[in-house]
């Protein structure tokens, strides 16, 4: 089986992107850990947002809750939906 230049280049780019994503994921986890530590030390919590989300979910405003998470935390639509789903599970 022979690889031509284009197939080799695509394979190289794919592997490079995989390692870049893994590296970024590690950096994000590190940043999240740092923010969690800073939040604990400063006494700032996520409770006001969580309370607001719980109220919206109680009223059946799931879409509004996801929108609020996106506005407040700057998450993607999928991430915001997962965040709201996690809040729902906490309440059960």
Q: List pLDDT tens digits, range 15-50.
A: 999 999 999 988 888 888 887 777 777 765 667 888
- Taking the C-alpha atoms of residue 52 and residue 68, their distance in angstroms, rounded to an integer, is 9
Q: Report the sign of the C-alpha dihedral through residues 65, 70, 76, 79, in that order.
A: negative
**pLDDT at position 32, please?**
82
pTM (global) more than 0.75: no
10 Å Cβ neighbour count for 56?
20
Close Cβ partners of 76 (under 8 Å, ≥ 6 residues apart): 70
Q: What residue segments make up the domains of the chain, in order of their start? A: 1-43, 45-92
* CA separation for the pair 52, 57 (Å, rounded): 9
What's the full length of the chain, in residues? 92
């Amino acid at each position: 089986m022979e690889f031509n230049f284009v197939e080799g280049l695509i394979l190289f780019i794919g592997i490079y992107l995989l390692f870049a994503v893994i590296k970024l994921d590690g950096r994000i986890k590190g940043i999240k850990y740092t923010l969690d530590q800073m939040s604990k030390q400063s006494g700032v919590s996520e409770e006001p947002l969580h309370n607001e989300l719980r109220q919206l979910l109680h009223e059946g405003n799931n879409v509004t809750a996801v929108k609020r998470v996106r506005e407040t935390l700057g998450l993607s639509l999928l991430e915001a939906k997962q965040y709201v789903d996690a809040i729902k599970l906490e309440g059960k």
